[in-house]
Structure 1
Amino acid sequence: MKLLFGLLSPDMDKSGFTCGEAALDTYLQKLASQDMKRGFATAIVARAETAPNKIIGYYTLSAASVLLDNVPAGMARKMPRYPNIPAVRLGRLAVASGMQGQHVGSLMVLDALRRSCANELAWALFLVDAKNERIAAFYEKFLFQRFPDKTLHLWMHRKQAKALCTIENKTK
């Protein structure tokens, strides 16, 4: 099945989306469009090419920052001495219940990294917040690293993201 990725639009069927996590279902159905209009997040949806109005997954991206003091010491030494480090945050990621286990989530993470690397916005870190250890382990497969003091908050340097995007493009 070929997947299409694009911005959430009003003509897409949000009402039928369920992923098994009520908060993620409610966000897509009731809040995602509002967050996009207000400039708080960009919602990207995954759809099957054969059913382009049916959402099978989604994720959100937004601008963020990290205090330099919160970055691991080895990384902080390589950063400019600004108090905040610019970042992109992958806020929510959900896959429809019937599509789970088919690598849709992995493809969405790669799409989020690709979109972020292609964007002209300056950023140094890509951030994700995991809800639990299982999800944190999922992100670690992409080489995300945990913040020492907040182990469910993970990060990746932009150079790593670009390297993953390069690998992804070579496999297409």
Structure 2
Amino acid sequence: MKTIMRLYRLKKMTELLDKKHNREGFDCGKELLNNYLKTQAGQDIKRKLSACFVLSDGATNDIQGYYTLSNNSIPLSSFPESIQKKLPKSYTSIPTTLLGRLAIDSKYQGKGIGKILLIDALKRSYHISQEIGSFAVVVDPIDEDAEKFYTKYDFIKLPDSKKMFIAIKTLQELFT
């Protein structure tokens, strides 16, 4: 993770998706993620359902990659027993941040942009958690490759679910 943090500091920061960004040329190889960016992301932003952050080429505004964040909650019973014991029983649902989508245009895949976007999303989530309660960042990997990606960065699989999480406490150790 420390190497990635150094890489992250060297790269351009993400920004909120807006009309200046070229969405039409985006192709990550997964139609669901392509279509989301091209047809739904703008509406989700307007409706305050999610925030979409992009890394783009400054000259052309072509999107190299993107991710979305939104509020979320997970039933207490979904967490591993070892974690359930540490949380108050009065909470039936635990507040979390959902990293809903993360995609890299195929022209930029294999260049570390996925790692950079993940670190950006986790850092942003950590900072937001200082003002709004969030126990963890949760992902729902789209396929096996995505699951392997998140596992590599210490995400833990929720029992009886495809969802994975990383605790804000873990992020605190990275970002402070």
Task: Tell whether the structures are fold-level matches, with TM greater than 0.5.
Answer: yes
CA contact (8 A) 1:4 1:47 kept: no
Inter-CA distance 126–2: structure 2 relative to 1 (3 Å threshold): closer
Q: How does 1:10-159 map to 2 (within 5 A)?
A: 10-48=19-57, 50-51=58-59, 53-81=61-89, 82-119=91-128, 120-150=131-161, 152-159=162-169
* Cα deviation, residue 80, structure 1: 1.5
TM-score, length of structure 2 as denominator length: 0.88
Match of 1:170 in 2: none
* Cα deviation, residue 131, structure 1: 1.5
CA contact (8 A) 1:13 1:55 kept: yes
Structure with the higher fraction of residues in strand conformation = 1
Give percent identity, aligned residues only. 37
Match of 2:173 in 1: 163
For residues 114-152 of structure 1, give each alpha carbon's deviation from its aligned partner in whole angstroms, at most 9, with x where no partner exists.
Answer: 1111112210011001122221111011100001211x3
For residues 19-64 of structure 1, give each alpha carbon's deviation from its aligned partner in whole angstroms, at most 9, with x where no partner exists.
Answer: 111111111011101000001110000123x436121000000100
* Cα deviation, residue 3, structure 1: 2.7
Q: Which structure has more RCO (C-alpha within 8 Å, separation ≥ 6)?
A: 2
Give the residue type in structure 2 aligned to 1:74. Answer: S
| Partner SS for 1:53 | coil
RMSD: 1.4
CA–CA separation in structure 2 for the residues paired with 1:52 and 1:74: 49
CA–CA separation in structure 2 for the residues paired with 1:141 and 1:130: 13
- Runs of 4+ residues deviating >6 angstroms: none
CA contact (8 A) 1:64 1:88 kept: yes
CA contact (8 A) 2:96 2:137 kept: yes
TM-score, length of structure 1 as denominator length: 0.90
Unaligned runs of 5+ in 1: 167-172
CA–CA separation in structure 2 for the residues paired with 1:37 and 1:157: 29
CA–CA separation in structure 2 for the residues paired with 1:112 and 1:52: 23
| Partner SS for 2:68 | strand
Match of 2:7 in 1: none
* Cα deviation, residue 12, structure 1: 1.1
